[in-house]
């Protein structure tokens, strides 16, 4: 009975949005005690291709890019969600327009362009850094 409940709850969660295996595991352990049944359920979902870290990473990268986040921040967030490093780098490497995205984020936040004032320039750099862009991507925007 518990295994069926776990499976149904997992399907319910997956019907709302993609989850990484770790995310789903953590959500299910809050509700159910049997870690063994949870792992068996997650294995079954992966076999049926209903749970996929690869698909989760792909959708997550696209969603975060739309919000103007850079590769460093997205990678860190995916790592925190338990996605394997090779999957993360595969998804990040699919895009070669990170500088363009950094520039778009910058122009949206700072329509007046690059500041000549040192303190304002630092704020602009910090903004892009906090968005998760690399040093080189930031420099390409500010040059």
CATH code at position 38? 1.10.10
If DSSP codes are grouped into helix, strand and coil, which group holds residue 32? coil
Total of domains in the chain: 3
Please tell me whether residues 15 and 45 are part of one structural domain. Answer: yes
Counting every residue, how long is the chain? Answer: 143
Please tell me whether residues 80 and 118 are part of one structural domain. Answer: no
| pLDDT at residue 101 in the model | 97
Please tell me whether residues 85 and 117 are part of one structural domain. Answer: no
| Alpha-carbon radius of gyration of the chain | 19
User: CA-CA distances (angstroms) from residue 108 to 25, 73, 91, 102, 111?
Assistant: 38, 19, 25, 10, 6
For 71, the domain range is 54-93
Give the pTM: 0.91
Per-residue pLDDT of the chain (143 residues; tens, 9 = 90+): 588 999 999 999 999 999 999 999 999 999 999 999 999 999 999 999 999 999 999 999 999 999 999 999 999 999 999 999 999 999 999 999 999 999 999 999 999 999 999 999 999 999 999 999 999 999 999 98
Contact partners, residue 113, CB within 8 Å, separation at least 6: 107
Classify residue 124 by burial, with Cβ atoms within 10 Å: 0-12, 13-18, 19+. Answer: buried
């Amino acid at each position: 009975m518990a295994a069926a409940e776990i499976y149904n709850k997992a399907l319910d969660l997956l019907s709302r949005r993609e989850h990484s295996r770790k995310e789903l595991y953590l959500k299910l352990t809050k509700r159910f005690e049997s870690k063994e049944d949870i792992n068996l359920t997650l294995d079954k979902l992966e076999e049926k291709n209903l749970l996929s870290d690869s698909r989760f990473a792909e959708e997550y990268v696209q969603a975060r890019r739309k919000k103007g986040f850079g590769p460093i921040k997205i990678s860190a967030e995916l790592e925190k969600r338990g996605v394997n490093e090779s999957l993360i780098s595969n998804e990040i490497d699919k895009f070669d327009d990170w500088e363009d995205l950094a520039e778009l984020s910058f122009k949206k936040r700072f329509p007046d362009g690059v500041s000549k004032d040192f303190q304002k320039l630092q704020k602009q750099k910090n903004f892009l850094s906090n968005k998760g862009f690399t040093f080189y991507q930031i420099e390409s925007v500010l040059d």
